[in-house]
Amino acid sequence: MTLTEDLSGGCDCRSIRYRLNRPPMFVNCCHCSWCQRETGSAFAVNAMIEADELVCVAGTPDLVETPSESGLGQQIARCPRCRVALWSHYASAGPIVAFVRVGTLDAPERCSPDAHIFTRSKLPWVQLPEGVPAFEIFYERETLWPAASLARRGALLPRINAYREQRGLPPI
C-alpha cells in the first residue's frame, strides 16, 4: 500500500465519512470469541493507525464503552444513526491508536491481514490463507511488524504510557 492510495470509508447510511492520512501500521484479523460476538461474524479485521491520522470528514461518531476480554473495556466509534462500528480504541493504548474496521473502508481489499490472531478460538469452518502468519493468541510485535511501523508505534509510546499512567496501568 502506498501513500497515494485513497483510504476513505464510512458507515452504511453515509452520515459518517472518514479518511486515513497514511497506511495502517499493521492489520490483524482477530478470531477471539469477543470479536466474534461483537461483530456477529467469525472474526474482526482491524487496521491499526495513529488516531491523529484518522480524520472524520463528515459527521461525528458516538464513542460507546463496551467490555473486552482484558476487563479494561474499549470504546467503539459508531455511527449515531445506523450504529455501524467504524473503529475502536482499546484500553491498552486508549485514544492514541485507532483500530479501524477494515470492512468500513471503501476499498477494504487494500488492507488484507498481516496476521491472524487468537486462532485458538477460530471457528472450525474458517480456512486461514497460506502464507499469512497465524497465532493461537498473539505474536511478538518486534519480530513481525515492519521496521517503519515499529518506529511509528515507538513515536506514540510516550503518549500511550502517559495515558496508561493516568489510569493506573503499567507502561508498555
pLDDT of residue 67: 85
Q: Look-up: residue for cell 484518522?
A: 54
Half-sphere CA count of 65, side-chain side, radius 13 A: 3
Q: What is the DSSP letter of 170?
A: P
Give the C-alpha separation, 119 to 95, whole Å: 26
pLDDT tens digit string along 92-104? Answer: 899 999 999 999 9
- Give the model's confidence band at 5: pLDDT under 50 very low, under 70 low, under 90 confident, else very high: low
pLDDT of residue 164: 93
| Residue-level length of the chain | 172
- Give the model's confidence band at 3: pLDDT under 50 very low, under 70 low, under 90 confident, else very high: very low
- In the CATH scheme, what architecture does the domain 7-124+132-166 have? Beta Complex (2.170)
Question: Are the C-beta atoms of residues 157 and 172 closer than 8 Å to each other?
Answer: yes
